[in-house]
Amino acid sequence: MTGLDLLHLVGDETAIHHLVGSLSSTALVVLIGVCVVLLSKGADWMVEGVVDLARRTGIPKIIIGATIVSLGTTTPEAFVSVMAAFMGNSGLALGNGVGSIIADTGLIFGLTCVLAPVPINRFVLDRTGWVQVASATLLVAVSVAVSILSEGTPYLGRWIGFLFLGLLAGYMYLAYTWARQCDGYVLESDDPDGEVRPLWLCWIMIAGGLALVIVGARILIPAASEIAQRLGVPDDVIAATMVAFGTSLPELITAIAAVRKGHPEITVGNIVGADVLNCLFVIGASAAARPLAVPFTFFMLHFPAMLLILYSFRVFISLGSGGYFRRWQGFWLLSIYVVYVVLQYTGDFVITAK
């Protein structure tokens, strides 16, 4: 397949659906795995390119960690959800955003706490951490209000999407301001004084990474939808588990690298920032693209799981008198995530509720 053929395939909706529909279930799983790799590698290239570009231009590293890195690692979720919204698959769009928050905090941060002592940076968590909880609570509150006021399936309208994007702009400004004031949370590279990529290579990495993310997301959506239809599982369930985990791989890779290099605290800022962006950026942009239906399963499972994990995280911060998250807290978050996933595939009330 030539580059032009690939470009045509990515841009042709009918061709994509014909391709995934003609594949066996095993081939679809392999295709989804390839797309996940493209998303992960593309996001990784983008982050590296943006970080070196920022270092070249003299932007403080702390600002990179508090804003640009988390923005880069949530790019896969944004592309997947916005494309799903354009395709009219609101369950996939909303499920990916909410599921990514659950995967980031429950699975990835929980795993980090189990593997290594994670310091509690109160400057970051007493600011961005509250935005993390508040944005998720606002999403649930708005969804409940819309459900009460509407007949039939509730929808998050475009005005809600633009409201969230407006709040995102305010958050990014606050994050920039807080980052300039903070001396304790700095994103360090393996070799701070090492060689920095030239500007032209930074731009190539950013553009190439973005291209991989777009291609991976464009094919991942219909492939996941096809699998969901064959299994008889709602799209939002697939989105909140398999797709959400796949698009959360950049955060997982960052967490594993941080633990391996002895800097688990990097994970905290990245995940907290990614949660805020998943809510305000990913879901906001998706709703702005097309109104998002909120299936009954969100009120039964996805929203409660998200709030339980985030409020548990908030409580753990207040309990951290020793300055570190505890291993048992990581196990608690992991256990919530495992139960959440198991319920989706074994709980008949979740699968059949509409």
Mean of the pLDDT values across residues 152-158? Answer: 89
**pLDDT of amino acid 58:** 62
Cβ proximity of 240 and 102 under 8 Å? yes
Residue 10: is it exposed, middle or buried by C-beta count within 10 angstroms (0-12/13-18/19+)?
Answer: middle
Residue type, 65: G
Res 13 pLDDT > 70: no
Mean of the pLDDT values across residues 302-321? Answer: 91
Residue 341: is it exposed, middle or buried by C-beta count within 10 angstroms (0-12/13-18/19+)?
Answer: buried
pLDDT above 70 as % of the chain = 75
Res 350 pLDDT > 50: no
Pairwise CA distance, residues 245 & 5, whole Å: 29
Distance of alpha carbon 323 from its chain centroid, rounded? 27
pLDDT above 90 as % of the chain = 25
Res 283 pLDDT > 90: yes
More confident residue, 232 or 297: 297
Cβ proximity of 274 and 252 under 8 Å? no
Mean of the pLDDT values across residues 64-80? Answer: 68
Pairwise CA distance, residues 91 & 294, whole Å: 7
The token pair at 310 is 């985030």
**What pLDDT band is residue 191 in, cutting at 50, 70 and 90?**
very low
CA atoms within 13 A on the CB side of 2: 3
More confident residue, 2 or 291: 291
pTM of the model: 0.74
More confident residue, 138 or 191: 138
Pairwise CA distance, residues 92 & 85, whole Å: 8
Question: What class is the 3-352 domain?
Answer: mainly alpha
**pLDDT of amino acid 68:** 67
**pLDDT of amino acid 246:** 67
**How many CB atoms sit inside 10 A of residue 255's CB?**
26
Least confident of 30-44, 168-182, 232-246, 308-322: 232-246
Mean of the pLDDT values across residues 24-40? Answer: 84
| Average pLDDT taken over every residue of the chain | 78
The region that residue 12 occupies, defined by phi over 0 for left and psi between -120 and 50 for alpha, beta otherwise, is beta
Res 188 pLDDT > 50: no
**Helix, strand, or coil here: 184?**
coil
The token pair at 256 is 């594993």
pLDDT digits (tens, 9 = 90+) for 209-225: 877 877 777 777 678 77
Pairwise CA distance, residues 257 & 262, whole Å: 9
**How many CB atoms sit inside 10 A of residue 231's CB?**
13
Res 83 pLDDT > 90: no
Task: Give Dmax over CA atoms of the chain in angstroms.
Answer: 60
- Residue by residue, DSSP assigns 222-251 as HHHHHHHHHHT--HHHHIIIIIHHHHTHHH
**What pLDDT band is residue 266 in, cutting at 50, 70 and 90?**
low
Res 342 pLDDT > 80: yes
**pLDDT of amino acid 186:** 44
Residue spans of the domains in the chain: they are 3-352
Torsion on CA atoms 304, 306, 307, 311, rounded to nearest 10:
140
**pLDDT of amino acid 239:** 64
Kind and range of the H or E run holding 311:
helix 303-319
β-pairing verdict for 324-325 and 118-119: antiparallel
**pLDDT of amino acid 145:** 95
**pLDDT of amino acid 338:** 92
Cα Rg of the chain, angstroms: 20
Q: Which phi and psi angles does 195 have, rounded to 5°?
A: -70, 135
**What pLDDT band is residue 336 in, cutting at 50, 70 and 90?**
very high
Q: Which of 25-34, 155-164, 222-231 has the highest mean pLDDT?
A: 155-164
| Nearby residues of 140 by Cβ (< 8 Å), 6 or more positions away | 303, 306, 307
